Protein backbone atom coordinates (compact mmCIF):
# COMPACT_ATOMS: atom_id res chain seq x y z
CA UNK A 1 0.00 0.00 0.00
CA UNK A 2 1.17 3.53 -0.73
CA UNK A 3 2.78 5.63 2.00
CA UNK A 4 0.21 8.33 1.20
CA UNK A 5 -2.83 6.18 2.04
CA UNK A 6 -3.47 3.94 5.06
CA UNK A 7 -6.71 2.28 6.09
CA UNK A 8 -7.99 0.02 8.82
CA UNK A 9 -11.33 -1.36 9.94
CA UNK A 10 -12.13 -1.33 13.63
CA UNK A 11 -14.90 -3.30 15.28
CA UNK A 12 -17.25 -1.70 17.78
CA UNK A 13 -19.78 -3.45 20.00
CA UNK A 14 -22.62 -1.02 20.67
CA UNK A 15 -24.69 -3.26 22.95
CA UNK A 16 -28.45 -3.60 23.20
CA UNK A 17 -29.37 0.05 23.76
CA UNK A 18 -29.29 3.09 21.48
CA UNK A 19 -25.88 4.68 21.85
CA UNK A 20 -23.44 7.40 20.96
CA UNK A 21 -20.06 5.62 21.01
CA UNK A 22 -16.96 7.84 21.19
CA UNK A 23 -14.39 6.89 18.51
CA UNK A 24 -11.99 9.79 19.11
CA UNK A 25 -9.29 7.76 20.87
CA UNK A 26 -9.44 5.02 18.22
CA UNK A 27 -9.02 7.69 15.51
CA UNK A 28 -6.12 9.32 17.38
CA UNK A 29 -4.42 5.98 17.97
CA UNK A 30 -4.69 5.10 14.28
CA UNK A 31 -3.20 8.48 13.31
CA UNK A 32 -0.29 8.12 15.77
CA UNK A 33 0.57 4.91 13.98
CA UNK A 34 0.14 5.96 10.34
CA UNK A 35 0.33 9.75 10.02
CA UNK A 36 3.81 10.11 11.56
CA UNK A 37 3.56 13.89 11.97
CA UNK A 38 2.15 14.58 8.51
CA UNK A 39 -0.82 16.68 7.45
CA UNK A 40 -3.72 15.09 5.61
CA UNK A 41 -7.31 13.96 5.92
CA UNK A 42 -8.93 11.26 8.03
CA UNK A 43 -12.03 9.73 6.53
CA UNK A 44 -14.26 7.82 8.96
CA UNK A 45 -16.93 5.60 7.42
CA UNK A 46 -19.37 3.04 8.78
CA UNK A 47 -20.75 0.61 6.18
CA UNK A 48 -24.13 0.18 7.83
CA UNK A 49 -27.58 1.26 6.65
CA UNK A 50 -28.65 1.94 10.24
CA UNK A 51 -25.79 3.91 11.83
CA UNK A 52 -24.10 7.26 11.38
CA UNK A 53 -21.18 9.40 12.51
CA UNK A 54 -21.42 12.68 14.36
CA UNK A 55 -19.04 15.29 15.74
CA UNK A 56 -20.50 16.12 19.13
CA UNK A 57 -19.55 16.93 22.70
CA UNK A 58 -19.75 13.84 24.89
CA UNK A 59 -19.97 13.36 28.64
CA UNK A 60 -21.90 16.56 29.39
CA UNK A 61 -25.32 15.30 28.28
CA UNK A 62 -25.13 16.24 24.59
CA UNK A 63 -24.83 12.59 23.57
CA UNK A 64 -28.04 11.75 25.46
CA UNK A 65 -29.67 14.91 24.05
CA UNK A 66 -28.83 13.71 20.53
CA UNK A 67 -30.49 10.34 21.17
CA UNK A 68 -33.53 12.12 22.65
CA UNK A 69 -33.76 14.39 19.60
CA UNK A 70 -33.50 11.40 17.27
CA UNK A 71 -36.23 9.59 19.21
CA UNK A 72 -38.43 12.66 18.80
CA UNK A 73 -37.67 13.04 15.07
CA UNK A 74 -37.74 9.31 14.36
CA UNK A 75 -40.15 7.62 16.79
CA UNK A 76 -39.74 3.88 17.33
CA UNK A 77 -43.32 3.00 16.47
CA UNK A 78 -45.20 1.27 13.64
CA UNK A 79 -45.43 4.25 11.24
CA UNK A 80 -42.50 3.03 9.12
CA UNK A 81 -42.97 1.11 5.88
CA UNK A 82 -39.68 -0.71 6.42
CA UNK A 83 -40.88 -3.34 8.91
CA UNK A 84 -38.40 -6.13 9.55
CA UNK A 85 -36.62 -6.47 12.89
CA UNK A 86 -37.81 -5.00 16.15
CA UNK A 87 -40.74 -2.58 16.42
CA UNK A 88 -39.92 0.76 14.81
CA UNK A 89 -36.77 -0.53 13.12
CA UNK A 90 -37.68 1.41 9.96
CA UNK A 91 -36.54 4.56 11.78
CA UNK A 92 -33.02 3.14 11.97
CA UNK A 93 -32.89 3.04 8.17
CA UNK A 94 -33.79 6.75 8.00
CA UNK A 95 -31.08 7.71 10.53
CA UNK A 96 -28.18 7.94 8.00
CA UNK A 97 -30.07 10.63 6.08
CA UNK A 98 -29.85 12.81 9.22
CA UNK A 99 -26.60 11.51 10.74
CA UNK A 100 -24.42 10.56 7.75
CA UNK A 101 -22.33 7.38 7.75
CA UNK A 102 -19.14 9.31 6.97
CA UNK A 103 -16.96 12.21 8.10
CA UNK A 104 -13.77 13.68 6.64
CA UNK A 105 -11.61 15.46 9.18
CA UNK A 106 -8.40 17.52 8.99
CA UNK A 107 -5.15 16.09 10.32
CA UNK A 108 -2.38 18.58 11.12
CA UNK A 109 1.06 17.46 12.26
CA UNK A 110 -0.24 13.91 12.56
CA UNK A 111 -3.02 14.89 14.98
CA UNK A 112 -6.76 15.06 14.52
CA UNK A 113 -7.75 18.72 14.34
CA UNK A 114 -10.99 18.90 16.34
CA UNK A 115 -12.59 21.76 18.21
CA UNK A 116 -12.23 21.94 21.98
CA UNK A 117 -15.39 19.98 22.76
CA UNK A 118 -15.73 17.87 19.60
CA UNK A 119 -15.55 14.09 19.63
CA UNK A 120 -15.94 11.68 16.72
CA UNK A 121 -18.87 9.40 17.54
CA UNK A 122 -20.69 6.43 16.08
CA UNK A 123 -24.45 6.94 16.47
CA UNK A 124 -26.33 3.65 16.57
CA UNK A 125 -30.08 3.43 17.18
CA UNK A 126 -30.37 -0.14 15.86
CA UNK A 127 -30.64 -2.39 18.89
CA UNK A 128 -30.95 -5.46 16.65
CA UNK A 129 -27.29 -5.32 15.56
CA UNK A 130 -24.66 -4.64 18.25
CA UNK A 131 -21.66 -5.49 16.05
CA UNK A 132 -20.45 -2.53 13.99
CA UNK A 133 -17.52 -1.78 11.74
CA UNK A 134 -15.87 1.58 11.20
CA UNK A 135 -13.26 2.16 8.49
CA UNK A 136 -10.55 4.71 9.23
CA UNK A 137 -8.59 5.97 6.21
CA UNK A 138 -5.71 8.49 6.30
CA UNK A 139 -4.76 10.29 3.11
CA UNK A 140 -1.76 12.58 2.72
CA UNK A 141 0.00 14.07 -0.29
CA UNK A 142 3.49 13.96 1.22
CA UNK A 143 5.36 10.69 1.83
Over residues 4-39, the pLDDT tens digits come to: 999 999 999 999 999 999 999 999 999 999 999 999
CATH number at residue 40: 2.60.120.460
What local confidence, expressed as pLDDT, does residue 61 receive?
96
Number of structural domains found in the chain: 1
Q: Which helix (H) or strand (E) holds 32?
A: helix 24-34
Report the side by side order of strands in the sheet with 131-139: 5-13, 131-139, 40-45, 102-108, 111-112
What local confidence, expressed as pLDDT, does residue 83 receive?
83
Give the whole-angstrom CA distance, residue 10 versus residue 18: 19
1 has a pLDDT exceeding 80: no
Cβ neighbours of residue 60 closer than 8 Å, sequence gap 6 or more: 117
pLDDT in tens, 78-132: 999 988 888 889 999 999 999 999 999 999 999 999 999 999 999 999 999 999 9
pTM over 0.75: yes
What local confidence, expressed as pLDDT, does residue 142 receive?
67
Domain, as residue range, for 90: 5-139
Amino acid sequence: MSDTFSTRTIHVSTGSAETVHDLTEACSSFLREVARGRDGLLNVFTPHATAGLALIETGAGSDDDLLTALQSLLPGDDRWQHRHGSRGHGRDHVLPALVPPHATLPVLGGRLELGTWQSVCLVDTNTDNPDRQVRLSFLTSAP
